[in-house]
Chain A
């Protein structure tokens, strides 16, 4: 019977078997070697932790009409400043607003006047500049009137007591400081004035005045 051409001879089979055993042995060495290294050392861990928090800054205000400090963040919930009585030529109306941070505020900062608007609710619009205002930072318990304003030295949004037209915001003396944790409220006295040359046709008109103050924390 003739030998098949692909059938290995006995020495060939022996050589192949040896190669397979060598590969298996190598695999064992590689497979066992790594865990053997791990098992050769002790392991231990250290965990570090710290309590990290953010600062808190919450501005509050009050007025004679609303004497309890609270947040008034938008027009719908605005702080009410009472300005009773009618404007007449050359006459002023006064109202104060006190500012502070909330009791849980951890940082102080500054208060800046960032907006002023007028909404006429009855009658025609006014000529620009006929209505104007100025704001002074005064003593915390000072009354807000002509005498206080005449003696004021610290102004917000103006210099030396200059008036700013209603609808505009001044560009000088932009901020006043406020302390953290409700300390040392700041009183801002607002004076609104009608020009002495205002025409008689203004009689009886009604309007709302609004001021927007932006507080910025120190850190």
Chain B
């Protein structure tokens, strides 16, 4: 009988303690804060290009400076001859970043590059592409925008070169 009473007392103590603890913990109230529609940056593509080329293979591309929520570095270029003899021409008169001149005036960016001399003389095709990347891209990984493709076609001996930009 006594053990039964002790058991009942223990059960009552367990039931009673949580209620007391809850009272001791005080009132609670919740505040929810949210940052809605947070976004990742998007590196803009080069758009609105105007491309002109000469018989000598000098090509000038201009485009409006893009707007971006992040600081952009200079456009990154890559170009090569794409004619049948292209690889050979590139070997003789290689296109490399040093051949490009990049300038920016106000909101207009300009890049000038020169195809190989033999491209201008014998005709040829030059492909180039360039894109934007985040400033100090090497430090933050490979965040880059879509590349713009330029296709420069120089007819042999005579004729007007054409330059077409393809997003």
Q: Which residues of A contact B (CB under 8 A)?
A: 55-61, 63, 71-75, 77-83, 85-91, 93, 95, 97, 99, 107, 109, 111, 121-123, 190, 192, 194, 196-200, 202-219
Contacts and interface: CB of A to CB of B under 8 A. Distances in A.
Contacts of A71: 29, 31
Contacts of B37: 121, 206, 208
A59 B29 contact: yes
Interface of B: 25-43, 69-70, 134, 139-144
Contacts of B36: 80, 208
- Most A CB atoms within 10 A — which of B28, B29, B35? B35
17 contacts: A55-B27, A75-B34, A83-B38, A86-B69, A89-B140, A109-B27, A121-B37, A123-B40, A198-B141, A199-B142, A200-B43, A203-B43, A209-B35, A212-B31, A212-B32, A215-B29, A216-B28
Nearest to A102: B29
Nearest to A121: B37
A122 B32 CA distance: 22
A164 to B, nearest CB: 15
B33 A204 contact: no
A213 to B, nearest CB: 5
Contact of B134 (A88, A99, A206): A88
Contacts, number: 161
A208 B32 CA distance: 13
A81 B35 contact: yes
Given A71-B31, A97-B33, A204-B39, 18 more contacts: A57-B26, A57-B29, A73-B29, A73-B32, A79-B33, A81-B33, A83-B35, A83-B38, A87-B40, A109-B27, A111-B31, A200-B43, A203-B42, A203-B43, A205-B39, A207-B39, A208-B35, A217-B26
A77 B111 CA distance: 51
B34 A57 contact: no
A119 B30 CA distance: 20
B38 A207 contact: yes
A95 B25 CA distance: 30
B58 to A, nearest CB: 33
A209 B40 CA distance: 13
Nearest to A188: B33
A43 B144 CA distance: 96
- Give me the 4 closest cross-chain CB pairs, A-B, nearest first: A86-B41, A217-B26, A89-B140, A57-B27
Contacts of A202: 40
Given A86-B42, A192-B38, A210 B143 contact: no
A20 to B, nearest CB: 51
B76 to A, nearest CB: 13
